Amino acid sequence: MGGIGDMEHLLAYESDRQRQVVPMMAGIDGLNRLYSNRITPIVFLRNLGCHLTHSCKPVKVSAVT
């Protein structure tokens, strides 16, 4: 039987963590790209989305929770 440091266990742990972390990393990267962009139509749509989210309480609550 392999212990906690067994390669099989470590690879399974790594796979599990990647499945959990990669979507979060992609989301953060997307937000970073969105907010660091200075192309006028993208800035306009980003600001419009922020204002609409802020003015619609159910959307705002679901986005925060």
Q: What is the pLDDT of residue 63?
A: 78
Q: What is the pLDDT of residue 1?
A: 57
Q: What is the pLDDT of residue 20?
A: 94
Rg for the chain, CA atoms, rounded: 19
Residue 65, pLDDT > 80, answer no
Q: What is the pLDDT of residues 14-58, one digit of tens each?
A: 999 999 999 999 999 999 999 999 999 999 999 999 999 889 988
- What are the extents of the domains in the chain? 7-64
Q: What is the pLDDT of residue 5?
A: 86
Distances (CA, A) of 18 to 21, 22, 31, 42, 43: 5, 6, 20, 30, 32
